[in-house]
């Protein structure tokens, strides 16, 4: 079933059209990457789909059409983490539990367990203002996770992390989401992240330009209309194939090297 829907979405800002007749349907439980160049409208799209920006168009969360009177309900079903969250609670634990009404012991122990899963038990009692950027972002993630929203929106929240750490966090989120039937919408401006996702929606020129799984996307020449810079292994594979040095594409360096060495 579609947990998120937008039909014929039109949106302009300051006399600039951002979206022109865009229709999207997101299946519940999916792990979706929204990819596009800087300024194409990824943040705007996430804000529209989460109800942060209310439009005249037909946008539904869990079958409920977003309007300015039902934001409470919409907010209870969504959680949003952006690239620069600022937290003002007294302690990290307070912040994590901020959006829970009637906090129970189970909530507190869940919060502690999640902090432990990220190896951050030591920061439970400190002020969020004293956190490093990485710790801050992870606190944001935990705060969202504990809410168990229907849809978790992640707006380029991990771009400062190194590749391995980012992959680790995304894998953890994916596992948690799968277990709790949470749909994840993740916006990013590069292709390094796409391998973990079920579906990549590529935005370009006020519309959805490509919409497919990561592997098919990397095999689609239309991708080169969006960006000339592909992930390292993809670019290397393509060029080696062009020179007849390997027979096919690989998704890891070791296998690519083995083929090359034959």
Partner 1 sequence: MKHDNKIVAVVGNSGAGKSTFIKNQKISKKVGIINDETIKENRVRDQLLYYVKKYKYRLDILDDRFNEIIKMLSISEKILDKDVFEISESEYYKVLIGSILLYNPEVIVFDDILCFFDEENKQKLFKLSSKLKKFFNKTIYFVTSDIDSVYEYVDDIIVIDNAKVLLEGDKKEVYKEYSLLKKNRIRIPNIVEFIKLMRDNNVNIDDVDSINELIKTIYREIG
Q: Which residues bind partner 1 (CB under 8 A)?
A: 14, 37-39, 43, 83-84, 132-135, 156, 159-165, 189-190, 227-229, 232-233, 235-236, 239-240, 243, 245, 253-254, 256-257, 260-261
Which of 107, 259 has the CB closer to partner 1? 259
H-run or E-run covering 212: strand 207-212
Any idea how long the chain is?
Answer: 262
Which of 1, 261 has the CB closer to partner 1? 261
14: Cβ–Cβ under 8 A, 6 or more apart, which residues?
none
Which of 54, 134 has the CB closer to partner 1? 134
67: Cβ–Cβ under 8 A, 6 or more apart, which residues?
54
Minimum distance from residue 63 beta carbon to partner 1 (Å): 31
Which of 182, 236 has the CB closer to partner 1? 236
Can you say how many angstroms the Cα of residue 262 is from the centroid of all Cα atoms in its chain? 39
Minimum distance from residue 244 beta carbon to partner 1 (Å): 8
Which of 65, 165 has the CB closer to partner 1? 165
Report DSSP state, residue 224.
G
Q: Distance between CA 103 and CA 147 in Å, rounded?
A: 11
SS3 195: helix
Q: Distance between CA 204 and CA 207 in Å, rounded?
A: 6
Structure tokens at 195: 């391998």
Minimum distance from residue 138 beta carbon to partner 1 (Å): 10
Which of 182, 185 has the CB closer to partner 1? 185
Minimum distance from residue 45 beta carbon to partner 1 (Å): 12
Minimum distance from residue 131 beta carbon to partner 1 (Å): 10
Minimum distance from residue 241 beta carbon to partner 1 (Å): 11
Which of 88, 133 has the CB closer to partner 1? 133
Between the alpha carbon of residue 122 and those of residues 83, 143, 144, 145, the distances in Å are 23, 16, 20, 19
Q: Which of 124, 116, 194, 187 is nearest to 158 (CA)?
A: 187
Sign of CA dihedral 187, 212, 249, 184: positive
Q: What own/partner pairs with CB < 8 Å and gap ≥ 24 does 227-234 have? A: 227/37, 227/191, 229/191, 230/191, 231/191, 231/192, 234/191
Minimum distance from residue 233 beta carbon to partner 1 (Å): 7
């Amino acid at each position: 079933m579609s947990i998120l829907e937008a039909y014929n979405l039109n949106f302009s800002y300051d006399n600039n059209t951002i979206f022109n007749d865009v229709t999207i349907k997101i299946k519940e439980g999916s792990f979706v990457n929204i990819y596009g160049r800087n300024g194409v409208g990824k943040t705007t799209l996430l804000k529209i789909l989460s109800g942060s920006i209310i439009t005249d168009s037909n946008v539904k969360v869990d079958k409920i059409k977003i309007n300015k009177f039902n934001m409470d309900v919409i907010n209870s079903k969504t959680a949003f983490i952006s690239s620069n969250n600022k937290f003002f609670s007294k302690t990290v634990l307070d912040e994590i539990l901020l959006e829970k009404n009637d906090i129970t012991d189970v909530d507190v122990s869940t919060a502690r367990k999640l902090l432990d899963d990220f190896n951050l038990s030591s920061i439970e009692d400190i002020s969020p203002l004293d956190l490093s950027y990485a710790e801050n972002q992870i606190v944001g993630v935990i705060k969202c996770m504990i809410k168990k929203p229907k849809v978790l929106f992640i707006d380029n929240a991990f771009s400062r992390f190194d590749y391995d750490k980012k992959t680790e966090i995304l894998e953890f989120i994916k596992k948690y989401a799968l277990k709790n039937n949470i749909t994840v919408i993740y916006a990013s401006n590069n292709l390094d992240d796409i391998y973990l996702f079920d579906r990549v929606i590529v935005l370009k020129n006020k519309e959805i330009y490509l919409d497919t799984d990561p592997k098919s996307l990397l095999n689609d020449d239309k991708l080169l209309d969006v960006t000339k810079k592909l992930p390292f292994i993809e670019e290397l594979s393509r060029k080696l194939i062009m020179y007849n040095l390997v027979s096919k594409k690989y998704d890891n360096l070791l296998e690519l090297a083995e083929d090359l060495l034959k």
